[in-house]
Amino acid sequence: MHHIVVVNGPNLNMLGSREPSIYGAETLEDIHKLCDKTATSHSIKVDFRQSNHEGELVTWIQEAGRAAAGLIINPAGFGHTSVALMDALLSIKIPAIEVHLSNIYKREEFRHHTYTARAVHGVISGFGSHSYVLAIEALSNIFKKNA
């Protein structure tokens, strides 16, 4: 069984009540349950985390690089500003996938670029909570290719 870490950035703890017209009505706990269900069907174990603190996210990325088979990151607003997250992602050797609930390319122009995107295998954006499902499926495919 592969072990992956799902790292969620700032304000995602407010899902369900924060701008539901953009982010939907699901809570972060709903997404956690969806990830667990999807991962189990692919023989993957999920360690699901959220923090509003950039340094804590950096530490978790570094830890995942040493102990996990893969990483999914929703950097939220930090994706658009954080060289530190990008550097942490560049320092790990495991496959990493960036996800966003909303389609960042249909939003304000400053959201069209993420520093973190250049440090991951791929970016999934605009499918709501299903973005996480697609990321788990992508990691599962990577694991199968590398087996």
Exposed (0-12), middle (13-18) or buried (19+): which is 96, by Cβ within 10 Å? Answer: buried
Question: Which residue in the list 2, 32, 100, 132 is annotated as catalytic?
Answer: 100
- Of residues 2, 23, 32, 115, which has the active-site annotation? 23
Q: Would you tell me how many other CB atoms lie within 10 Å of the CB of residue 43?
A: 10
- β-pair type (44-50, 96-100): unpaired
User: Does residue 132 have an active-site annotation?
Assistant: no
Reading the block at residue 26, the tokens are 């699901």
C-alpha–C-alpha distance, residues 33 and 21, integer Å? 22
DSSP one-letter code for 42: T
Quote the CA–CA distance of 113 and 42 in Å, as a whole number. 31
Residues annotated as catalytic (active site), given as ranges: 23, 100
